[in-house]
Amino acid sequence: MYWLLWTGMLINRVGGFVALVLSLYLTSERDLKPSAAGLVVGLYGVGGMAGVLLGGVLADRWGRRPTLLLAHFGAVVFLGGLAVTERVPVIAALAALLGLMHSMPGPAFVAAIVDVVPAADRSRAFNLQFWAFNLGMAAASLLAGLLAEVSFTLLFTVDAAGTLVTAVLLLWKVRETRPAIGPAGNGSAGGEPRGGLHTALTDRAFVSFVGLSLLLAVVTLQTSTILPLAITADGLRPTVYGSVVAYAGLLIVAGQLFVPKLIDRWRKGTTLAVANVFLGLGFACVALADDVPGYLLAATVWTVGSMLAAPPNAAVIAELSPEALRGRYQSVFYLVFPAASFIAPAAGGAGLEFLGDWHWVICGGLGLLAAAGHLLIQPARERRAARLRQQEHHRLEVPATG
């Protein structure tokens, strides 16, 4: 089952490139200024914030499979709308709805992986998931640059086709993975917490980790929201942007499978701190880049950070999530990405327009701030994870009565 989910994510990412060039589409085809384009792209993130919460609740209550099907078939409809409309208000509305559908699958996909993969194998599973994501992203970035020079209508259509293929695969092959929960409903025997979204939102160790992940995401999403504008402002063609992002993806494809052996003996918080330092320095290097080699160098540095961050980031969320609330915990974590999808283009577009290269220096500072934060919260987070493991062990040892 894991490999079916893995394949679905890979196919989806190969076709999922609208978000990569939406800002470029709005400035080049619809004649919007960078700040206005950033706000429209930000609506994609607003829709995504609702999508991850809805996706997490549905994944726990309705099931992983129905949630994935609704999200993928819905995305096909809204991508079709973007392919045929030219009015900016309609594009803005469709961007918000597409963000809703694109964000819903995240909690369900990861919750399903946690359902079917034993705890000892999850770090490897998440590493392979990240590898597949970036293999798909590399292909998507090359396609995005090429299709953007031919036709944005064709670009939206191809994206819809890739999403439809994923939806059909899920409908045909993937079964439900949600674990059976006892009569307590949202809770279970043995000390597992009852509740819903509020349980995750009031878990201080978890929320602290999510806050630091938001800083990381705001910096990382510069590649898909603001970097295209910086590259074209330097007089380079859209294909250069596609090549830079594809290069970063190919680095991950080539090296990601070796990362677990490198970081196995490191504490997760330490690994994440080192990763954020590399990410911050990589984006700070964009301030000095004005040609292809400069952008490739910056991409190399930030990609090392992305490679180091992926396995421990996913593993921390899994170890902090009670079994009965996996979808909800994942949905709260996945709020990071639509929130960053709003903050990154909205603030980034204005930052690039009014601050110029200092925008990238600020991004570097955010990476260093997140690194320090991970070192500070590491002891409390590890204690919280250990308590949850003890509760789960006790629940398995003491069978429910009645």
Query: Has residue 183 been placed in a domain?
Result: no
Query: Has residue 395 been placed in a domain?
Result: no
Cβ atoms < 10 Å from Cβ of 110:
28
What CATH number is attached to the domain comprising 83? 1.20.1250.20
226 token code pair: 């603001």
For residue 397, the model assigns a pLDDT of 61
Cβ atoms < 10 Å from Cβ of 7:
16
DSSP code of residue 183: T
Query: Has residue 191 been placed in a domain?
Result: no
Nearest C-alpha neighbor of 275 from the set 237, 236, 302:
302
Query: Has residue 122 been placed in a domain?
Result: yes
Query: Has residue 295 been placed in a domain?
Result: yes
Nearest C-alpha neighbor of 12 from the set 140, 116, 114, 145:
140
For residue 195, the model assigns a pLDDT of 58
Packing angle, helices 358-397 and 268-285, rounded to 10: 160
Nearest C-alpha neighbor of 238 from the set 346, 352, 138, 143:
143
pLDDT-flagged residues of the chain (< 50)? 183-193, 400-402
Q: What is the DSSP string of 303-322?
A: HHHHHHHHHHHHHHHHHTS-
Query: Has residue 401 been placed in a domain?
Result: no
For residue 181, the model assigns a pLDDT of 59
Query: Has residue 154 been placed in a domain?
Result: yes
- The pLDDT tens digits for 219-260 are 888 877 788 888 888 888 777 887 887 788 788 878 888 887
For residue 314, give Cα distances in angstroms to 110, 223, 387, 390: 9, 21, 19, 20
CA–CA separation, 232 and 26 (whole Å): 14
Query: Has residue 59 been placed in a domain?
Result: yes
- Structural domain of residue 286, as residue ranges? 2-178+196-390
Total domains present in the chain: 1
